[in-house]
Amino acid sequence: MSESDREARRLAWVYLSRVVEGPCAALSALIESVGVVEAARAVRECALPEVLRGPTELRRGIDRAEKDVAHIERLGGRVVTPDDAEWPAWRMLGLGQLDPAQDADAAVPLVLWVRGRRSLLEATERSIAVVGARCSTGYGNHATGEIAGELAARGWTVVSGAAFGIDGMAHRAALGVGGVTIAVLACGPDRPYPVQHDHLLAEIAEAGLVVTEYPPGTSVRKHYFLARNRLIAALADGVVVVEAGIRSGARNTVKWCRRLGRPAMAVPGPITSAASVGCHRMIREGEAFIVTRADDILDEAGPLRLSLPGAVPANPEDNLSGDEALVFAALPGAGARLPRALAADTGLPMAVLRATLSGLEIAGLVGCDGSGWYRTVSPSTSTAAIVADHDRHR
Amino acid sequence: MSESDREARRLAWVYLSRVVEGPCAALSALIESVGVVEAARAVRECALPEVLRGPTELRRGIDRAEKDVAHIERLGGRVVTPDDAEWPAWRMLGLGQLDPAQDADAAVPLVLWVRGRRSLLEATERSIAVVGARCSTGYGNHATGEIAGELAARGWTVVSGAAFGIDGMAHRAALGVGGVTIAVLACGPDRPYPVQHDHLLAEIAEAGLVVTEYPPGTSVRKHYFLARNRLIAALADGVVVVEAGIRSGARNTVKWCRRLGRPAMAVPGPITSAASVGCHRMIREGEAFIVTRADDILDEAGPLRLSLPGAVPANPEDNLSGDEALVFAALPGAGARLPRALAADTGLPMAVLRATLSGLEIAGLVGCDGSGWYRTVSPSTSTAAIVADHDRHR
């Protein structure tokens, strides 16, 4: 792709991001079918199917993509599009495969507005979302500090929503141990929300990342929090809820997490505390696993571990069992296959398939590009070759 | 049976109870095969299979059955044998069907030494065990008070072990609301244990029941607590653990509960509290359901509810579904069938079958006597007749 083509695509993504403000499954479908540049042209000219006229009507006349890019760069940030190397493509796969008829928000973000120096791809390689009540208790804050601090100290990125209470505590605990944390906002990257967390967000942007799909200048809206929650779930290997009232937004994040086939977890608390009622209910109703410490969380959400006591095995795939073995076997020796074909072959539900592919990818056994998933090792490859292969594909 | 036969059987049960002190599966098998009077004679004369010589050797020469009966009666108590009307036969069924090869304690008690005015059968008709850590916290005591108090206030008997901490709190909460509570001891009925609960045990004997399978004068032994735990589980519709350390005896009670096919439940607490670690682990490992209030507990352990919104149905069994419908259908229109035959017919595991029969019995649809389980209603019986039938069989 030429540099000018690349730039045209980039501006098209950014333009569309401002037009729809948030996820839009119909627009994502159009982009997939005609390409992003053509989709942007169609939106501008209102040469659109009926379903896309409403969502684009209000702002399709606003074309300030170049200014938006300049604006985020002045803030020390950048816009990350699906064309960029740091786009966390495999994390987004699941979102694109949800049924948009069930939920209009079930779409891949068009772009991500990012503040912070780290690569988004690397920062989300091993990450856990820790979320919960705004009105947290001393107990909840303490529990969050213990859990998020331990996860961060062990090299896991802590993803949260920068809200008061549990969210803020989770970010602070990660920062406190020198770990990586990602704040996902429901407003533009230039809008500290809540405003009292202005300083905290600046710290997160310094040591980790502040991420949002809303363009600069966008204020929070109630609906945006729900769409934001799906992004928290998408960017993590699992979601842990520490304290949630009976009508907590955390339950919405858990719903997304489960739809994406990733483990949802909840921390128990005193039965006498209203702030733990939502957690207990989610555990009781089978919506979340009970977890009480970082070890429990990594047991549920951690990567497939190639446990290598002593010797390094010549064929790491020999250590695979169950779904991992099944999926690995269904991948071709050369070339790639699409998830739907793999699901059909293995008989696994898509959610399970995705989770399994993620595990295999983290273990360095498979990779993913535009043509689908492929093996990064062959049965006869030595471990040294795997590592090299693995690095090459990052 | 003549009065003298009845008395001979009674003294035989009591004699054997002192000889073996606690459960003895081999002796139960002998009694089942030759009858209790003949078994007592065989023990006295040491005309025994090898397996029974050891367990009876020490005390087979001690025959003070009449004195023991007089002793418990002086204490205002009584001995209840399997021949007595108040023997909770169907609760004991499960114990008799466990595999004694797995656990020598897996046997029905020979007799129960009882203090208190209530009928043991009636007091255990609707009962929940609430047990937990001796070293309870203020939180655990409070939670126990709430839960046991609510259960007792709603007419459920609270069964526990009279120990320090959670057990004592459970009894006190039931007494506090004027409810019924049963203390199951690991020593003779005349031995207050722990001695500091002397007064509490007297109150329990006054308002509820103090029950043990150990004859008067028996001191606690470590092993007796484990056998006692099985009796707590057997006498209740389910076991609730409030606070348990990592090596709590409550886990042993939960094990018995699960073997008996009844629901085991645990109350969560702060993850920062060592006293809740055992509860969280049991929930996490699927050994216990999480419960936070009496409603949760009755959802798990409560009787089959014939929900009758508005009109009373002519055929209550029409409301049955799943296992209940299956088991009810497998019962003959006239006469009775044994559990093993029902299990073979329905294909249900014994534990599930027992739980299902219990539910049907509490709902007044089936009954049980020496010949097995029978229907108390026929498809054409009116509800009035069911109630009459039900009362007659109580």
A292 at interface of B, judged by CB pairs closer than 8 A? yes
Q: Which residue has the tokens 């856990």?
A: A128
Asked whether B123 and B180 are in contact (CB, 8 A), the reply is yes
The answer to whether A284 contacts B268, with C-beta atoms less than 8 Å apart, is no
The answer to whether A270 contacts B269, with C-beta atoms less than 8 Å apart, is yes
Written as one letter, the residue type at A42 is A
Average pLDDT, chain A: 88
The whole-angstrom distance between A213's CA and the closest CA on chain B is 35
B137, B271, B282, B295: best to mutate for the A interface, most A CBs within 10 A: B271
Same domain, B154 and B240: yes
B267 at interface of A, judged by CB pairs closer than 8 A? yes
Alpha-carbon distance of B97 to B371, in angstroms, equals 16
Burial class of residue B347 (count of CB atoms within 10 Å of its CB; 0-12, 13-18, 19+): exposed
Q: What is the CA radius of gyration of chain A?
A: 21
Q: Which residue of A has its CA nearest to B139?
A: A270
B277 contacts in A (CB within 8 Å)?
A: 292
The whole-angstrom distance between A253's CA and the closest CA on chain B is 21
> How many C-beta atoms surround the C-beta of residue A5 within 10 A?
11
A159 at interface of B, judged by CB pairs closer than 8 A? no
The answer to whether B277 contacts A292, with C-beta atoms less than 8 Å apart, is yes
A293 contacts in B (CB within 8 Å)?
A: 271
| % of residues, chain B, pLDDT over 70 | 91
The answer to whether B268 contacts A271, with C-beta atoms less than 8 Å apart, is yes
The answer to whether A143 contacts B272, with C-beta atoms less than 8 Å apart, is yes
What pLDDT band is residue A308 in, cutting at 50, 70 and 90? very low
Q: How do residues B178-191 score in pLDDT, each as one tens digit? A: 999 999 999 999 99
Which helix or strand (DSSP H or E) is residue B391 part of?
helix B383-393
B287, B290, B295, B296: best to mutate for the A interface, most A CBs within 10 A: B290
Rounded to the nearest 10°, the torsion over CA A326, A328, A330, A332 is: -170
Minimum-distance CB partner of B280 among A270, A277, A290:
A290
Residue B52's pLDDT is 94
| % of residues, chain A, pLDDT over 70 | 91
Q: Which of A304, A380, A377, A367 is nearest to A337 (CA)?
A: A367
Over range A69-89, report the average pLDDT: 96
What pLDDT band is residue A258 in, cutting at 50, 70 and 90? very high
Residue A351's pLDDT is 66
A269 contacts in B (CB within 8 Å)?
A: 268-271
Q: Which of A44, A47, A82, A49 is nearest to A63 (CA)?
A: A44
Which helix or strand (DSSP H or E) is residue B184 part of?
strand B181-184
B299 at interface of A, judged by CB pairs closer than 8 A? no
Minimum-distance CB partner of B142 among A269, A272, A292:
A272
**Which of A217-221, A366-370, A389-393, B99-103 shows the highest mean pLDDT?**
A217-221
What pLDDT band is residue B195 in, cutting at 50, 70 and 90? very high
Q: Which residue of A has its CA nearest to B272?
A: A143
Alpha-carbon distance of A60 to A81, in angstroms, equals 19
Same domain, A242 and A386: no
Minimum-distance CB partner of B270 among A270, A280, A296:
A270
* CA dihedral over A166, A169, A173, A175, signed as positive or negative: positive
B70 pLDDT above the threshold of 90:
yes
Over range A126-136, report the average pLDDT: 97
Q: Pick the more confident residue, A309 or A22.
A: A22
What pLDDT band is residue A318 in, cutting at 50, 70 and 90? low
A298 at interface of B, judged by CB pairs closer than 8 A? no
Same domain, B265 and B345: no
B271 contacts in A (CB within 8 Å)?
A: 143, 146, 267-269, 292-293
A281, A291, A292: best to mutate for the B interface, most B CBs within 10 A: A292
B139 contacts in A (CB within 8 Å)?
A: 270, 272
Q: Which residue of A has its CA nearest to B299?
A: A284
B321 pLDDT above the threshold of 70:
yes
The two most distant CA atoms of chain A are separated, in Å, by: 64
Minimum-distance CB partner of B296 among A143, A146, A284:
A284
Q: Looking at the domain assignment, is residue A150 inside a domain?
A: yes
Q: Looking at the domain assignment, is residue A280 inside a domain?
A: yes
Same domain, B235 and B129: yes
Q: How do residues A14-35 score in pLDDT, each as one tens digit? A: 999 999 999 999 999 999 999 9
Q: Looking at the domain assignment, is residue B43 inside a domain?
A: no
A291 at interface of B, judged by CB pairs closer than 8 A? yes
Same domain, B120 and B175: yes
Q: Looking at the domain assignment, is residue B92 inside a domain?
A: no
B10 pLDDT above the threshold of 90:
yes
B303 pLDDT above the threshold of 70:
no
Same domain, B288 and B323: no
Residue A97's pLDDT is 86
Last residue of a domain, one of B301, B330, B345: B301
Same domain, B132 and B185: yes
B105 pLDDT above the threshold of 60:
yes
Alpha-carbon distance of B114 to B98, in angstroms, equals 25
Q: Which residue of A has its CA nearest to B270?
A: A269
By residue range, what is the domain housing residue B134?
113-301
Average pLDDT, chain B: 88
Same domain, B244 and B282: yes
Instruction: Report in angstroms the alpha-carbon separations of B212 from A341, B12, B107, B163, B241.
Output: 64, 18, 14, 14, 21
Structural domains in chain A (count): 2
Bridging pattern class, strands A239-242 and A264-267? parallel
* CA dihedral over A230, A232, A235, A241, signed as positive or negative: negative
Q: Which residue of A has its CA nearest to B242?
A: A271
B384 pLDDT above the threshold of 50:
no
Minimum-distance CB partner of B268 among A139, A268, A296:
A268
| % of residues, chain B, pLDDT over 90 | 70
The answer to whether B271 contacts A267, with C-beta atoms less than 8 Å apart, is yes
Same domain, B221 and B265: yes
Last residue of a domain, one of A301, A325, A342: A301
Q: Which residue of A has its CA nearest to B267?
A: A271
Same domain, B338 and B294: no
Residue B386's pLDDT is 36
Q: Looking at the domain assignment, is residue B223 inside a domain?
A: yes
Structure tokens at A351: 């959610």
Same domain, B295 and B322: no
Q: Looking at the domain assignment, is residue B271 inside a domain?
A: yes
B270 contacts in A (CB within 8 Å)?
A: 139, 143, 269-270
Residue B185's pLDDT is 98
Q: Looking at the domain assignment, is residue A338 inside a domain?
A: yes
Same domain, A279 and A195: yes
Q: Looking at the domain assignment, is residue B341 inside a domain?
A: yes
User: Quick check: helix, strand or coil at residue A223?
Assistant: helix
Asked whether B174 and B149 are in contact (CB, 8 A), the reply is yes
Residue B305's pLDDT is 39
> How many C-beta atoms surround the C-beta of residue B206 within 10 A?
13
Residue A316's pLDDT is 62
Over range A217-245, report the average pLDDT: 96
A143 at interface of B, judged by CB pairs closer than 8 A? yes
A321 pLDDT above the threshold of 80:
no
The answer to whether B269 contacts A267, with C-beta atoms less than 8 Å apart, is no
Interface size A-B, in CB pairs within 8 Å, comes to: 61
**Which of A325-334, B109-118, B324-333, B351-360 shows the highest mean pLDDT?**
B109-118
Question: What are φ and ψ of residue B157, in 5° steps?
Answer: -75, 135
B262: CATH:
3.40.50.450
What pLDDT band is residue B367 in, cutting at 50, 70 and 90? confident
B271 at interface of A, judged by CB pairs closer than 8 A? yes
B385: CATH:
1.10.10.10
B140 pLDDT above the threshold of 70:
yes
Last residue of a domain, one of B270, B301, B332: B301
